[in-house]
Amino acid sequence: MVYLSRIYTKTGDAGETALGDGQRVPKDHPRVTAYGTVDELNALLGLLAAQAGVGEEAELLRGIQNDLFDVGADLCVPVAGQESPGARLRVQPVQVERLEAAIDRINAGLRPLTSFVLPGGRPAAAWCHLARTVCRRAERDVVTLLRTEAVNPQVLVYLNRLSDLLFVLARKCNDGGSADVLWVPGQSQGPRP
């Protein structure tokens, strides 16, 4: 259980923060950037659930929000060389499998795509698309971190799958794809010679 007795500590006033292992790093360290973007994504999912009305998928979103705290906890503690299984909270393959099952379930009821989908349509779909783009940024931030430090590979897989889920959820929120706004290549270029 997590117990927070104080909200402010003043330990970050000089631009540093503590990782989960106690190590102090600058607040713009790639690890902090990665889990900060995951936190931003989680806040967007909260807005989606609260404002846009995703109906039957609200429980799915709450589960994902919990998973994203796991992702943040995983990223907050650097992977130790000889870490025993279960010693730290790490994202597990079963969490990715749940996303894949949700993607398959939701996608089965969608219209086939005939073009790329522009972000928009219904408000809930637009929120999903915004969350999808932030998820992709979190994924890029993790890739940047991977260039210099070890990261649990399931974190990257989870974020990759989550962006796919947010795409199909956007289509579901657009009346199963019937309210999708499709890309029309060269639409504003005028007639072609």
Highest averaged pLDDT of the listed ranges 112-116, 160-164, 183-187: 160-164
Does the pLDDT of residue 2 top 70, yes or no? no
Contact 176, 111 (CB under 8 A): yes
Residue, of 170 and 3, whose pLDDT is higher: 170
The mean pLDDT value for 59-81 works out to 93
Does the pLDDT of residue 134 top 70, yes or no? yes
Phi then psi for residue 87, to 5 deg, are -70, -30
Of 141, 147, 135, nearest in space to 67 by CA: 135
Does the pLDDT of residue 70 top 80, yes or no? yes
The predicted pLDDT at position 11 comes to: 65
The mean pLDDT value for 157-178 works out to 95
User: How many Å is the Cα radius of gyration of the chain?
Assistant: 19
The mean pLDDT value for 76-91 works out to 82
Mean pLDDT (the chain) is 89
The predicted pLDDT at position 68 comes to: 98
- The 8-class DSSP code of residue 18 comes to E
Which pair of structure tokens corresponds to residue 25?
A: 């790093």
On whether the pTM is more than 0.75, the answer is: yes
The predicted pLDDT at position 16 comes to: 80
Confidence class for position 61, pLDDT limits 50, 70, 90:
very high
CA distances from 22 to 48, 60, 156, 160 (A): 34, 33, 24, 29
The predicted pLDDT at position 189 comes to: 83
Does the pLDDT of residue 91 top 70, yes or no? yes
Q: Among 39-48, 109-118, 145-154, where is mean pLDDT lowest?
A: 109-118
Does the pLDDT of residue 21 top 80, yes or no? no
